[in-house]
Structure 1
Amino acid sequence: MYAKLYAFIYIRGFKIWTSYKTQVILTILSWTLPVFTYYFVGTSLGNSIVSKIGVSNYTSFFVIGLAFQGYVSSVITTVSQRIRNEQLYGTIEYYVLSKSGVTSFLLYSSMWGFTINTINALVILSVGLGLGVNYHIDILASLLVIILLILSTLGLAFLSGAFTMIIKQGNPISFFFSTFTTLMTGVVFPVAVIPSFIRGVSYVLPLTWALETLRETMLEGASLPQVAFQLLILAIFDAILLPLGILAFKLAFKKARIKGTLGEY
């Protein structure tokens, strides 16, 4: 396991990523610039206007949202893009037919996505600290929320991988979670301000529950008993999405093998 983690995270991920210095700089800028954008937007609007959307400290609100939104959108995109790249390179068969198996290939491929987005989250949280965000973190509760969010994201990533395996391009799962999560899950504004006829969609997405809970555990110091209900909801998402994602990817892989389209792009 350690050898696989080393190969996928360090050699296949970090070593290749850091070899492109310009890309590293641009990636870090893409993490930090939105923080300043929303900070100056909130500052220019003024506290009286910002408070009307039900947020007492707007900087704290969007910093948590931006820091952890990437765990969903970027990881899902990374996994589907990894499969897509292996199809283009002609190496997908070697990965999925290896001793590691189909599920292992997808799981270890997602590890780099989680690693880079952990760095992303830490950078954004650090910038938020410099902008005056006061963190009151219950470490145990926050870590448990993040773990539950990661598990649900794995399920969604597997679903995204299943689509890529079959349709090659135009992945609806990846498109939705890379485009609409900022709008629908309370990343930069509360879900409460979304029109009521579509607000229900927000609460069938695990990221909505995770962000609301993380704001409580990281900004208000809420403990495990205080967020027990939200943790239960996230656990239910995990129990549904993770097996569903694994099953979908295995079925897609089987279908691609039967049709002989595994390496097509």
Structure 2
Amino acid sequence: MESKGITARLYSFLYIRGFKVWTSYRTQVALTVLSWTLPVFTYYFIGTALGNSLVEKIDVSDYTSFFVVGLAFQGYVTSVITTISQRIRNEQLYGTIEYYVLSKSGVVGFLLYSAIWGFTINTVNAIIILLVGDGLGVKYNINWIPTILIIILLITSTLGLAFLSASFTMIIKQGNPISLFFSTFTTLLGGVVFPITVMPTPITYLSDALPLTWALEGLRNSMLQGYSIIQEANILIILLIFNAILLPLGIFSYKYAFKKAREKGTLGEY
């Protein structure tokens, strides 16, 4: 019976609330896919214009491969965090948030199921960008096991950040600092389109505090150079530490914010 309940919720959140709504706006679908692919060509022509000699000075032997992997997986962080915060915000505006968080899925389940669509659409995003990269000459040498493990750890750490972001939305309604930071600064600080080593040393400390920075380093190694699990051991351990901190912190913060919003009677306010 429980498995049927989970299947029904997945169907509702992933297919009805996700795929059907998204595909019903065909112009938006086309524009979304365009927004995924245009940055790839933009950075490709920038890298071509700079020339190999200049690019090699920032310790990147193949700039196209470098930024393609970065752009493909950055979306898991920026989009998922902002999507979940926006989902709570929308339900507050629609006056339906009480029904979701008080349903059988529970206060945490509401966000977990809401996150599934974000992860799904960003997987499509990543595949499209990687295929475009292949067309631009990127040579992949993928070791699948460490690659999949790193992606899973990136997703789960992002989920912890998303819970933390949602807790701010639950309380302050507008002006979410977590969502703003990760939607604005991860491209700069996460080593997405250029290595963090070219930035001033104090800023690199902030970059090292982001799970995305480590995940991208590991993904470039496992997808472009075929690194094994043993070679990726340090990256995997660091990402596990991020998960051990961010997931409990995010869930606790979200539950606490939900409790406070109920006590103050502001759960559905916007």
TM-score (normalised: structure 1): 0.99
Matched, 1:11 2:1: no
Matched, 1:61 2:66: yes
- In the alignment, the residues of structure 2 paired with residue 127 and residue 89 of structure 1 have an alpha-carbon distance, to the nearest angstrom, of 38
**How many residues end up aligned between the 2 structures?**
265
- In the alignment, the residues of structure 2 paired with residue 72 and residue 252 of structure 1 have an alpha-carbon distance, to the nearest angstrom, of 22
Q: Which residue of 1 aligns with 2:237?
A: 232
CA-based RMSD of the aligned residues comes to: 0.5
- In the alignment, the residues of structure 2 paired with residue 140 and residue 2 of structure 1 have an alpha-carbon distance, to the nearest angstrom, of 27
Matched, 1:73 2:81: no
Q: Which residue of 1 aligns with 2:3?
A: none
Q: Which residue of 2 aligns with 1:97?
A: 102
Q: Describe the SS at the equivalent of 1:13.
A: helix
Amino acid across the alignment from 1:210: A
Q: Which residue of 2 aligns with 1:156?
A: 161
Q: Which residue of 2 aligns with 1:43?
A: 48
* Structure 1 segments (4+ residues) deviating >3 Å: none
- In the alignment, the residues of structure 1 paired with residue 236 and residue 255 of structure 2 have an alpha-carbon distance, to the nearest angstrom, of 28
Q: Which residue of 2 aligns with 1:52?
A: 57
- In the alignment, the residues of structure 1 paired with residue 47 and residue 12 of structure 2 have an alpha-carbon distance, to the nearest angstrom, of 43
Shift of 1:2: 1.5
- In the alignment, the residues of structure 1 paired with residue 61 and residue 43 of structure 2 have an alpha-carbon distance, to the nearest angstrom, of 15
- In the alignment, the residues of structure 1 paired with residue 167 and residue 202 of structure 2 have an alpha-carbon distance, to the nearest angstrom, of 30
Q: Match for 2:198 among 186, 193, 199?
A: 193
- In the alignment, the residues of structure 1 paired with residue 203 and residue 94 of structure 2 have an alpha-carbon distance, to the nearest angstrom, of 41
Amino acid across the alignment from 2:13: F
Q: Describe the SS at the equivalent of 1:170.
A: coil
Q: 1:191-215, CA deviations, whole angstroms, 9 ceiling, x for partnerless residues?
A: 1001012110000110000000000
Q: Which residue of 2 aligns with 1:123?
A: 128
- In the alignment, the residues of structure 1 paired with residue 59 and residue 37 of structure 2 have an alpha-carbon distance, to the nearest angstrom, of 25
The aligned runs of 1:132-151 (5 Å cut-off) are 132-151=137-156
Q: Describe the SS at the equivalent of 1:37.
A: helix
- In the alignment, the residues of structure 2 paired with residue 190 and residue 3 of structure 1 have an alpha-carbon distance, to the nearest angstrom, of 43
Structure 2 runs not aligned, ≥5 long: 1-5
Q: Describe the SS at the equivalent of 2:249.
A: helix
Shift of 1:170: 0.6
- In the alignment, the residues of structure 1 paired with residue 269 and residue 229 of structure 2 have an alpha-carbon distance, to the nearest angstrom, of 48
Structure 1 runs not aligned, ≥5 long: none
Q: Match for 2:252 among 247, 251, 259?
A: 247
- In the alignment, the residues of structure 2 paired with residue 27 and residue 107 of structure 1 have an alpha-carbon distance, to the nearest angstrom, of 23
Shift of 1:19: 0.1
Q: 1:133-166, CA deviations, whole angstroms, 9 ceiling, x for partnerless residues?
A: 0000000110000000011000000001000000
- In the alignment, the residues of structure 1 paired with residue 120 and residue 202 of structure 2 have an alpha-carbon distance, to the nearest angstrom, of 37
Q: Which residue of 2 aligns with 1:208?
A: 213
Matched, 1:264 2:269: yes
Q: Which residue of 1 aligns with 2:27?
A: 22
Q: Describe the SS at the equivalent of 1:225.
A: coil
Shift of 1:86: 0.3
- In the alignment, the residues of structure 2 paired with residue 25 and residue 230 of structure 1 have an alpha-carbon distance, to the nearest angstrom, of 36
Matched, 1:113 2:118: yes
- In the alignment, the residues of structure 2 paired with residue 2 and residue 187 of structure 1 have an alpha-carbon distance, to the nearest angstrom, of 35
Q: 1:15-57, CA deviations, whole angstroms, 9 ceiling, x for partnerless residues?
A: 1000000000000000000000000000011001111111000
Q: Describe the SS at the equivalent of 2:231.
A: helix
Shift of 1:3: 1.3
- In the alignment, the residues of structure 1 paired with residue 199 and residue 113 of structure 2 have an alpha-carbon distance, to the nearest angstrom, of 36
Amino acid across the alignment from 1:225: I
Matched, 1:31 2:45: no
